[in-house]
Amino acid sequence: MIRIGDLARRTNLSKRTLRYYEQIELLQPSMIAANGYRYYDESAVIRLQRILLLKSIGYTLRQIQELLGTQTTADKHEDWLDSLNQQIELMEKQKEELSRKQYYLRSAVDMLRLRGLNGMNDLLKVIEGLSDRPLVNGVIPAEFGDDLPITPVQKAILKKLPVWGSGDKRLEPLFALFRQAAELRPSSPYSTEAQKLAGAIYDTALELFEGDEQLLNLYWTWMKPETGQEPAVVGLDAGLMDYVDHMIDCYQKQKEGEKDEKT
């Protein structure tokens, strides 16, 4: 038999905790002496070890009470198997929820980088729109159909693109450039400053698309939301994309004109 103080020291618990377990009928002393001292036999110590094991893997005290309740020997094996499998399933769901919250936090960081505090007003609405989309490796990637009019090489390029909310450092230059575009929106997209920015945006994006201009232009079209729809990329609303469209359209026409002059 072991006294409550010795058991507390052995298991790194307080005597108060052991008395609480007694109070809720989770762990009863094997004997209470006339002077009130609590003693625990080997079976009680084993039960306490099981309690601590279950607590360490996420069980609540109520769940532990149910699992360690009165069972026949034949029932114990199946009950433990069922309960442990249920706990594994619960942890998988919690892991999914935690990963999704981490993704939303990273998306909030990206939104701040792209649009500053003004963009945070739209973030909750965007998150609600993403709530039914599955996570893939901790992010919600852009969705493309299998029947895209592109080559296998172009599909491989799409798969390698950095994903919003992933923390990929390759996105940081684009965040800075689109932030400038958002700030320029009140002014003309054809101004000298806007055209310089359009060139920087296009060249930076083209590098991510491995120099494939056709694929970059297709991707931009796919990303543009229809009227009333949420943006496919958080923060790139239809208004900002329209503005950048005009910037880059003018920029490309100027480039084509320069080429024609040289030929």
Spatial distance between the Cα atoms of 154 and 214, rounded to a whole number of angstroms: 10
Residues of the chain with confidence (pLDDT) below 50? 71-74
Residue 231, pLDDT score? 56
Residue 124, pLDDT score? 66
Residue 17, pLDDT score? 94
Question: What is the assigned CATH class of domain 2-70?
Answer: mainly alpha
Residue 71, pLDDT score? 46
Burial track 6-34 (b if 16+ CB lie within 10 A, e otherwise): ebbeeeebeeeebeebeeeebbebeeeee
Token digits of residue 22 = 């007694």
195-210: per-residue pLDDT in tens? Answer: 999 999 999 999 999 9
Contact 175, 139 (CB under 8 A): no
Residue 27, pLDDT score? 92
104-120: per-residue pLDDT in tens? Answer: 777 777 777 766 666 56
Residue 230, pLDDT score? 58
Supply φ then ψ for residue 188, to 5 degrees: -70, 135
Closest CA to 127 of 148, 149, 110, 151: 110
Beta bridge partners of 61: none
Domain boundaries, the chain: 2-70, 93-262
